[in-house]
Homo-oligomer: A and B are copies of this chain.
C-alpha cells in the first residue's frame, strides 16, 4: 500500500497557489505553482488546481491511485467541517465556496481543508521544529500576526470552530487602532504592517527599512522595534499563562529575518515566569519556511489532527 504514504498538499495564497506531492516523511517530492487569481472565479481556480495535481503527480512519477488523499490549506475564514472557503478579504469572489466536495468527486479520495496558519503549524509539527510535540503555539510574524495552537496533537478550535486570534492580545493602552475593534493589539504594534506604518512617520519606507535603519543605530527606528519587542514580551507572557505550550514556534518572514530579536522576549518571559514549568518550555524557529503550509496540508491526510468538533 503506497497509498497510505503519499499525499498531495495544496497551499492556496492570496497571490499564488502551490501544489506539492508529499511523502509520509514530509518530503516534497515534486511541486508546481500558479497565480491564484481569485477574482477570476472559483471554478477556474478549481480547474487549475485539478490540472496542477495531475502535473505534480506526473513529475513525481506517482499516479492518482497512489494517493491517500488531498489536503488544502487556505487563508481563513475557512470552515474545515463544511469544507468551505469564505474569504472576501484576500480571495475576492470566493464566498462560501465548497472546495472539498468537487475535489473529492473528481479524484475519489478523502479531501481535507484547513486554515493556512493551522496548516503551517501542522507542517512544523509533522516534519519541522515541533515534531513530536503535543502542545504547541505557532506565531507567524508577517504582514499580520497569525497564530495557531496544537493541543494534545490536534488543532485547537474555540466557539463555532474559530481558531485563536492572538494577534489581538491587548499589549498597549491607547496604542494604535486595530481592525478588530480595539486599540493597542499585539498585531497593531508588532506586525510587519504596523512596524512599516510606524516607520513611515520617520520617513522609512517599510518594515524592512525600519529594521535596517535600527541596525545602523537610527533612534526613531530603534524605538519602533523596541516597541514591537515590548509588545511581543507581553504577548509571550499571556501565551505562557493561557495555553501553556511546551513549544513556541516563531515563523513568518519577519521572525525568519530577525529570529534572535523576536525570540529574546519569549526566552526572557519563560525565564521569569515562575508559575509555569519553565524548564519544559522551548522556543524554536520555524524550520519549513514557506513550505510549512504545503507540508501541513499533506499532513492533514496522513493523520487527521484537525479537531472538527464545534
A residues lining the B interface (CB < 8 Å): 134-135, 151-152, 156-160, 162-173, 179-182, 234, 237-239, 241-246, 272-277, 280-281, 307, 309
Contacts and interface: CB of A to CB of B under 8 A. Distances in A.
A241 B166 contact: yes
10 contacts: A151-B156, A162-B244, A165-B275, A168-B237, A180-B274, A180-B275, A238-B238, A238-B242, A239-B242, A242-B242
B241 A160 contact: no
A125 to B, nearest CB: 15
A238 B158 contact: no
Nearest to A184: B234
B241 A169 contact: yes
A156 B307 CA distance: 15
B274 A159 contact: no
Given A164-B244, A243-B158, A181 B273 contact: yes
Interface hub of A173, A238, A242 (most chain B Cβ within 10 A): A242
A305 to B, nearest CB: 14
B277 A152 contact: no
Contacts of A169: 237-238, 241-242
A54 to B, nearest CB: 38
A159 B277 contact: yes
Contacts of A274: 179-181
A237 B187 CA distance: 14
B280 A160 contact: yes
A177 to B, nearest CB: 12
B277 A160 contact: yes
A193 to B, nearest CB: 16
Contact of A243 (B164, B170, B180, B272): B164
Nearest to A149: B242
B277 A165 contact: no
Nearest to A274: B181
A168 B275 contact: yes
Contacts of A275: 165, 168, 180-181
Contacts of A242: 164, 166, 169, 238-239, 242-243
Nearest to A182: B237
A182 B238 contact: no
A298 to B, nearest CB: 25
A181 B237 CA distance: 10
B135 A159 contact: yes
A296 to B, nearest CB: 21
A182 B243 contact: no
A244 B159 contact: yes
B151 A273 contact: no
A171 B281 CA distance: 23
